[in-house]
Amino acid sequence: MSAPAPRRPLALVTGGSRGLGEVLARFLAAEGFDLLVTARGEAALSRGAAELRARGANVEEVPGDVADPVHRHELRRRVDRHGRLDLLVNNASELGPSPLPPLAEHPLPSLERVFQVNVLAPLALVQELLPPLAAARGTVVNISSDAALGGYPGWGGYGASKAALDLVSLTLAHELEDQGVAVVSVDPGDLRTTMHQAAYPGTDISDRPTPDVTLPFWAWLLHQDPRQLSGHRFRAQAERWEVPA
């Protein structure tokens, strides 16, 4: 009798219909992961999932808004079918108004939405998915931004949310260490994406690299010991990614 096939790792990627999330989903599928991908854009999400399946990937799309508790419960239900979750990539993000307003003039209802998507939803997903993450001794990757550190005019709302996400990541890394769950935050750098274009309406951003420029970083990250990386903040376009000794 032949031995059963080894279990494939499972990754959940939010904001997986375009940009960095789509690139990450494609990369993880090529690395042998089963995938759950979610995003608000149902049509784009379905197209991307169909393309991955055509390449032989096991992928399930779950359209919805990560800020919606009902959607997060549904993601947990899908994960529970697998029994464990090896990788959670909190990539879905909300930019806020376009063009970007000064922070002193930022509409507060829009700012609340930015924090709901960029801070509360990633934390809520970790809370929702902690049992299957712990069962797999899995890894959480929270997508940050250089705006978290820069204080750039116009980027205050978005940047503040990503700075909060960085602190959430570091705190969770400390708190979840005993459960074997690693948490990192990653600044992907300036990229040629729909969101970045929305930040600069009418401006040519063709000088920015496409999200594929981050692939060497993801290939490096995926083959490190997550416990050695947990609690660190990485820049995907940096020349070196090693954890300080």
Enter the pTM of the model. Answer: 0.95
Q: Is 149 part of any domain?
A: yes
Catalytically annotated residues: 158
| Confidence check: pLDDT of 245 > 70 | no
CA angle 104, 108, 110 (to 5 degrees): 115
Q: Is 242 part of any domain?
A: no
Give the C-alpha separation, 29 to 87, whole Å. 12
Q: How many domains does the chain have?
A: 1
- Cis, bond preceding 99 (omega within 30 deg of 0): yes
SS3 13: strand
The CATH number given to whatever domain includes residue 31 is 3.40.50.720
Q: Is 133 part of any domain?
A: yes
User: Among 54, 173, 66, which Cα is nearest to 116's?
Assistant: 66
Instruction: List, for residues 79-135, the tens digit of each pLDDT value.
Output: 999 999 999 999 999 999 999 999 999 999 999 999 999 999 999 999 999 999 999
Q: Is 4 part of any domain?
A: no
Q: Is 179 part of any domain?
A: yes
Average pLDDT, rounded, for the chain: 94
| Confidence check: pLDDT of 2 > 70 | no
Q: Is 241 part of any domain?
A: no
User: What is the span of the domain harbouring residue 95?
Assistant: 10-235
Average pLDDT estimate for 28-39: 97
